[in-house]
A and B are shown apart, each in its own frame.
Chain A
Amino acid sequence: MKHSVVALTVNGAERQVLVAPGTTLLDALRESQGLTGTRRGCDQGACGACTVLVDGKTMMSCLLPVETIDGATIDTIEGLTPMEGLHPIQEAFLEGFATQCGFCTSGMIMATAGLLARNPDPSREDAVRAISGNICRCTGYEAIIDAVLDAAARMRAAKRDKAA
């Protein structure tokens, strides 16, 4: 069984990752990169806890064999967090009491990041769709949907401030 070296840009840094055949991006991030903020909830692509951005698009990292994405750009929750303070999406989730056990949170936030990159002014229905692949067993989703919309508003306001 031959290991391979795969080049990835992870949160802006170029990395060479040594993987056994079939190693998922999730395992590579958690185990060889130490990026444990991406959570493992099912290994079946059905819970969304491992959602990351691959070349800017949300994907389930448990469904990606690393060898098939050589050269890809990966963004995780760790990369979203700024040096100082929090990202507006993180602020919205924190202040909106949109976390309980916290296990789905990274995936929810990355799904939100993926949505807002495509659609800075989502409707409530857009927000609901964006997280429809992410399971939360604690909150009943309401606070999370509110946080997605609040995050969008915060990011639009920040953009306006910057432009002004």
Chain B
Amino acid sequence: MEKIDTSFFSKEREADLFVVGESVQRADARGHVTGQTQFYEDVTFPNTLHLKMVRSTHHHALIKNIDIEPAMKVPGVVRVLTHKDVPNNWYTILKLIGVGPDDEPVLPEDRVLFKGEQVCAVLAETEQAALEGARRVVADYEELPPVFDVEEAMTSKPFKQAGTNYFVYEGHNCRRIRFGDVDKGFAEADHIIEHRYESAPIEHAPTETTGCTAKPEGSGRVTVYSNTQALYFTLDNMALILGVPFNKLRLVGGTVGGGFGGKVDVIVEPIAALGAMLTNRPVKYAYSRAEEMQVSSPRAAERLYIKDGVMKDGRIVARKITLYVDAGAYCRHSTYGTTKAAAHMPGPYSIPNVHVDAYCVYTNRTPSSAMRGFGVTIGDFALESQMDQVARHLGMDPMELRLINAYRDGDTKAHRKTVEGAALVEVIQAAARQTGKELAPRFAAMSSYQREA
């Protein structure tokens, strides 16, 4: 168990609490250890139809024809859903908070933009019949050249039906942070240190795959048993897509077999509910493990260029960051993640001159979305690798370099928010203490309360 070191910030801690701060047993643990915890898939209904998706075999292609007849001949197949069945086929998840344009079809119309994109949905009496039906659908494509590189996508011909290959932030092709004057900072600096960092897409890989069962009720409503991380996000998007009043839908969930951000997209519920409405039968749509691994949104691949202007004494006086978030084919939550990434820059350091261009770029890769540490995790890898390179360049201790530049209460961040509740200095001091490293008196005396003279 972790030690709580109360020697830091001792005056700010409220001490006499009854139960907050106690390691009480998890409320759900007994259900977990007995297997009685009820996940969405444990609620079953007789007469349920199984939904399996036909998926694009190309990264980028025009759909010439979809022949569903062979699927309909498979014993047990009840219906195939295509885009024509979807009342409001175009959406974007963050529409609810005013983000546009609608850039993603529930089911594609004339083209597919990534390999694995859902094309049409087969509903059948059994899972095996639905799988066979999906194998029998014949889709003809005309392949188009894909784009897989964010910087190439920025300048190549727009491939989406809606808009540019990048998200437009109030007239800009990126989310910008402008603080101080980086060029002036670079001119003053003793050293310029510049590196490029990047990452691959990362899958959430929850042990329970994304899924739901939609059940039509006698009242005319549809109840959806789902493992979404956000019930109302799902409900509201579904109502818009299905063109039904919000009170026709009910979402039940709350117990999820791992999420990590992977279950905030709204993909399975609208189609399952549509199937339930069109057949008047419960419909289950659960990702297979392979779909979860390759088709569900991963953490975005990112690319960052960091250029630092550094003084001999370790002060970083200018930091310029160009950051590309690979949103994949559709926006989903990436526009928000990119803004979050921009706001996180230049890291927990007070740097007087900061310039950030954070691009949310579309490519023909699997659409990415939120994941634990959204917008930050990869940025931290880049920032903190960069700090190490700066320290080595200067021949400085890496902890001391960070302490010199660490933000303190009252500093202004690059996005112009005043720092409060800072504690970077203290976590470094605490880590040093744990490793038995003795910080020089100047560094041991530092505090987040104020910057030393």
A contact set with B: CB distance below 8 Å? 20, 22, 30-31, 35-44, 46-47, 49, 76-78, 81, 86, 90-91, 93-95, 97, 99, 101-106, 109, 135-138
Give the residue of A42, A102, A106 whose beta carbon is less than 8 angstroms from that of B28.
A102
Give the residue of A22, A41, A94 whose beta carbon is less than 8 angstroms from that of B33.
A94
* A-B contacts at CB below 8 angstroms, number: 102
Tell whether, in the assembled complex, residue A135 and residue B33 are in contact, meaning their CB atoms are under 8 Å apart: no
Q: Given contacts A103-B207, A109-B33, could you give 7 more A-B pairs where the C-beta distance is less than 8 Å?
A: A20-B126, A36-B38, A41-B289, A43-B289, A86-B34, A93-B33, A97-B29
Chain B residues near A99: list those with CB within 8 A.
Answer: 26, 28-29, 32-33
**Interface: B208 (CB within 8 A):** yes
B contact set with A: CB distance below 8 Å? 23, 25-26, 28-39, 41-42, 44, 126, 128, 204-209, 255-260, 288-289
The 6 closest A-B pairs by CB, nearest first: A37-B35, A103-B257, A102-B32, A77-B35, A42-B289, A36-B42
Chain A residues near B42: list those with CB within 8 A.
Answer: 30, 36
B413 to chain A, nearest CB (A): 32
Can you name 6 A-B residue pairings with CB atoms under 8 Å? Answer: A39-B257, A77-B34, A86-B34, A90-B34, A93-B29, A103-B39
Measured in the bound complex, the distance between the Cα atoms of B126 and A20 in whole Å is 10
Chain A residues near B206: list those with CB within 8 A.
Answer: 101, 103, 137
Question: Which of B29, B36, B39, B42 has the most A CB atoms < 10 Å from its CB?
Answer: B29
Tell whether, in the assembled complex, residue B257 and residue A81 are in contact, meaning their CB atoms are under 8 Å apart: no
Measured in the bound complex, the distance between the Cα atoms of B292 and A44 in whole Å is 13
Which partner residue on chain B sits nearest A103 by CB separation? B257
Give the residue of B29, B35, B207 whose beta carbon is less than 8 angstroms from that of A36.
B35
B274 to chain A, nearest CB (A): 24
Chain B residues near A138: list those with CB within 8 A.
Answer: 258
Chain A residues near B258: list those with CB within 8 A.
Answer: 101, 103, 137-138
Measured in the bound complex, the distance between the Cα atoms of B407 and A125 in whole Å is 44
Measured in the bound complex, the distance between the Cα atoms of B262 and A137 in whole Å is 13
Give the residue of A38, A76, A78, A105 whose beta carbon is less than 8 angstroms from that of B32.
A105
Measured in the bound complex, the distance between the Cα atoms of B255 and A125 in whole Å is 32
B324 to chain A, nearest CB (A): 27
Chain B residues near A31: list those with CB within 8 A.
Answer: 44
Which partner residue on chain B sits nearest A48 by CB separation? B207
Chain A residues near B23: list those with CB within 8 A.
Answer: 97
Measured in the bound complex, the distance between the Cα atoms of B289 and A41 in whole Å is 7
Chain A residues near B255: list those with CB within 8 A.
Answer: 102
A146 to chain B, nearest CB (A): 11
Measured in the bound complex, the distance between the Cα atoms of B35 and A14 in whole Å is 21
Measured in the bound complex, the distance between the Cα atoms of B82 and A132 in whole Å is 42
Which partner residue on chain A sits nearest B33 by CB separation? A90
Tell whether, in the assembled complex, residue A101 and residue B257 are in contact, meaning their CB atoms are under 8 Å apart: yes
Tell whether, in the assembled complex, residue A94 and residue B36 are in contact, meaning their CB atoms are under 8 Å apart: no
Tell whether, in the assembled complex, residue B288 and residue A102 are in contact, meaning their CB atoms are under 8 Å apart: no
Answer whether A102 and B34 are a contact pair too, CB < 8 Å, given A41-B289, A44-B289, A95-B25.
Answer: no
Chain B residues near A42: list those with CB within 8 A.
Answer: 209, 289
Tell whether, in the assembled complex, residue A137 and residue B34 are in contact, meaning their CB atoms are under 8 Å apart: no
Chain A residues near B256: list those with CB within 8 A.
Answer: 101
Measured in the bound complex, the distance between the Cα atoms of B38 and A102 in whole Å is 10
Measured in the bound complex, the distance between the Cα atoms of B37 and A105 in whole Å is 10
Measured in the bound complex, the distance between the Cα atoms of B257 and A102 in whole Å is 7
Question: Which of A91, A102, A105 has the most B CB atoms < 10 Å from its CB?
Answer: A102
Measured in the bound complex, the distance between the Cα atoms of B33 and A38 in whole Å is 11
A158 to chain B, nearest CB (A): 17
Tell whether, in the assembled complex, residue B41 and residue A40 are in contact, meaning their CB atoms are under 8 Å apart: yes
Tell whether, in the assembled complex, residue A102 and residue B209 are in contact, meaning their CB atoms are under 8 Å apart: no
Tell whether, in the assembled complex, residue A137 and residue B29 are in contact, meaning their CB atoms are under 8 Å apart: no
Chain B residues near A102: list those with CB within 8 A.
Answer: 28-29, 31-32, 37, 255, 257
Tell whether, in the assembled complex, residue A101 and residue B35 are in contact, meaning their CB atoms are under 8 Å apart: no
A126 to chain B, nearest CB (A): 21
Measured in the bound complex, the distance between the Cα atoms of B288 and A91 in whole Å is 32
Answer whether A137 and B260 are a contact pair too, CB < 8 Å, given A31-B44, A41-B289.
Answer: yes
Measured in the bound complex, the distance between the Cα atoms of B254 and A102 in whole Å is 13
Measured in the bound complex, the distance between the Cα atoms of B288 and A77 in whole Å is 24
Which partner residue on chain B sits nearest A31 by CB separation? B44
Tell whether, in the assembled complex, residue A39 and residue B207 are in contact, meaning their CB atoms are under 8 Å apart: yes
Tell whether, in the assembled complex, residue B289 and residue A135 are in contact, meaning their CB atoms are under 8 Å apart: no
Chain A residues near B26: list those with CB within 8 A.
Answer: 97, 99
Chain B residues near A41: list those with CB within 8 A.
Answer: 207-209, 257, 289
